[in-house]
Structure 1
Amino acid sequence: MEPRKEASANDAPVEADQPFTPEQLQNVWNEFAEQRRHLPAEYQLLTQPYDFTHPVITVHLHHLVQETMLNNIRLQLSAFIRERLKNNSIQIVTKIVEIEESQRVFYTPREKFDHLLEKNPVLREMKDRLGLDTDF
């Protein structure tokens, strides 16, 4: 008669990664984003487009600040997705992409004026004639 082995915590069976579809990933991603809706910056970050090539999710970002924000929630996001999809091989990486000039956001009055000036150089003459200040 063989001696009986007692099961230890280390002998717990490891579940195999479950397959999932891109649609299932999108649903889980959106579910996590909805939990972050009360944090506008994180919610906006989680609405950025991403590519998925199993097992890597590549999130497209526009600024290093966004990368820092994502790094702050990466562990929570990864754990959430892995748990919901029952797949521990999922990884999240970032990629900084350039914003096209047509999509660029202008924040200061100077940036706005300079952008309009590129489209219509006559604005400089009007500004000078009227004595306008664009740096208010």
Structure 2
Amino acid sequence: MKEAWTTFAETRKKQQADYFLLAQPYERTDTRIVMPLSNPIQETMLNEFRLELNTFLRERLQNSSIQVVGELRVVEERKMIYTPRDKFEYLSSKNPMFRELKDRLGLDPDF
């Protein structure tokens, strides 16, 4: 499977976006190959060559039930911590005792 996938990816090397998409890890069950996608543009790109990919894999692996499917997944974005206030809020969300300690000692995290 890996060899056939890599061979197809090499045929798409001139289209760098397609090649990059095919270089991403995929999940395989019995006859279903799931490609995790991070945005709708990747889904459109996959749809452009999915039929060709399905045909290639079916012929190469001699399995007519193989199906490549794209699955849109939400990527969690993390907020960057820059200021002392942001750092304090982050740490106090992890450990509420920081907030109590700040109140008891009368500290100001912005200073």
Q: Given the two structures, how large is their TM-score scaled by the length of structure 1?
A: 0.57
**What does 1:27-38 align with in structure 2 at a 5 Å threshold?**
27-38=3-14
User: How many residue pairs align between the two structures?
Assistant: 84
Q: Which residue of structure 1 aligns with residue 81 of structure 2? A: 119
> Share of identical aligned residues, percent?
43
- In the alignment, is residue 98 of structure 1 matched against residue 60 of structure 2? no
- In the alignment, is residue 64 of structure 1 matched against residue 40 of structure 2? yes
Q: Is the 8 A contact 1:67 1:94 kept in 2?
A: yes
- Structure number with greater Rg is 1
- In the alignment, is residue 82 of structure 1 matched against residue 58 of structure 2? yes
Distance 1:39 1:94 in 2: 19
Question: How much is the aligned-residue C-alpha RMSD, in angstroms?
Answer: 1.6
After superposing on structure 2, the runs of 4+ consecutive aligned residues of structure 1 that deviate more than 6 Å are none
Q: Given the two structures, how large is their TM-score scaled by the length of structure 2?
A: 0.69
* CA positional deviation for 1:121: 2.8
* CA positional deviation for 1:101: 2.9
Q: State the AA in 2 paired with 1:40.
A: Q
Aligned equivalent of 1:49, options 25, 31, 35: 25
The secondary structure found in structure 2 opposite 1:72 is: helix
* CA positional deviation for 1:33: 0.4
* CA positional deviation for 1:53: 0.7
**Residues 32-75 of structure 1: CA deviation (Å, up to 9, x unaligned):** 00111111100011112211111111111100110010000001
Distance 2:49 2:42 in 1: 11
Q: Is the 8 A contact 1:58 1:95 kept in 2?
A: yes
Q: State the AA in 2 paired with 1:37.
A: K
The secondary structure found in structure 2 opposite 1:101 is: coil
**What does 1:2-17 align with in structure 2 at a 5 Å threshold?**
none
Q: Which 5+ residue runs of structure 1 have no aligned equivalent?
A: 1-24, 103-114, 123-136
